[in-house]
């Protein structure tokens, strides 16, 4: 399907750019979702923090849990996502290019800490940790919507 919306072209590696503002994509809905969700063009928090959780969240203890082969032990009661307990972390489940196009390969089974980590200004709540991770990768912090301008969504700028 060809998207020729009058919208900014996102230079995403998985899509074939056909013209100034045309992309060959599976569906326009996917394209709009990418526009509306800055996490899909970010991924900074998945490569900035140690991602630890109670050991029993993994699928050797909880059906449908985190794939245990993607985790490491962290003491007697906790585990971490592989790749995140190092000086320069990057979760083993993160696919894509940070600041461009990313996805979590275990999204439906991700740890609770990932489920509760919200992007900054979602429902008007500032998340400094989101800002910190984005800043590390040279991405501008998300901003709150302009209360005086209903047409300004504010909090969902394009990733730089």
Question: Closest distance between ligand SF4 and the C-beta of residue 125, in Å?
Answer: 12
Q: What is the sign, positive or negative, of the torsion defined by CA atoms of 82, 49, 59, 39?
A: negative
Q: Which helix (H) or strand (E) holds 72?
A: strand 71-74
- Min separation Cβ 24 and ligand SF4, Å: 25
* Strand bridging mode 101-104 / 94-97: antiparallel
Cβ at position 59, least distance to ligand SF4 in Å: 13
Nearer to ligand SF4 among residue 34 and residue 94 (C-beta): 94
Give the whole-angstrom CA distance, residue 103 versus residue 94. Answer: 6
Binding site for ligand SF4 (CB under 6 A): 38-39, 42-46, 51, 81, 91, 93-94, 104, 106, 110-111, 114, 117, 119, 130, 133-134
Residue 97 Cα to chain centre, angstroms: 11
Nearer to ligand SF4, 16 or 125 (CB): 125
């Amino acid at each position: 399907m060809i998207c020729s919306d009058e919208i900014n072209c996102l230079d995403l590696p998985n899509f074939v750019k056909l013209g100034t503002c045309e992309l060959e994509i599976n569906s326009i809905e996917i394209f709009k979702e990418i526009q509306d969700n800055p996490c899909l063009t970010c991924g900074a928090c998945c490569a900035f923090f140690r991602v630890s959780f109670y050991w029993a969240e993994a699928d050797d203890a909880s059906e449908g849990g985190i794939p245990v082969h993607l985790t490491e032990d962290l003491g007697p009661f906790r585990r971490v996502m592989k790749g995140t307990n190092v000086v320069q972390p990057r979760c083993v489940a993160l696919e894509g290019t940070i600041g461009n196009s990313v996805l979590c390969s275990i999204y439906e089974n991700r740890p609770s800490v990932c489920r509760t980590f919200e992007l900054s200004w979602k429902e008007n709540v500032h998340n400094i940790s989101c800002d910190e991770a984005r800043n590390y990768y040279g991405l501008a912090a998300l901003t709150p919507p302009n209360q005086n301008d209903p047409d300004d969504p504010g909090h969902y700028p394009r990733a730089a």
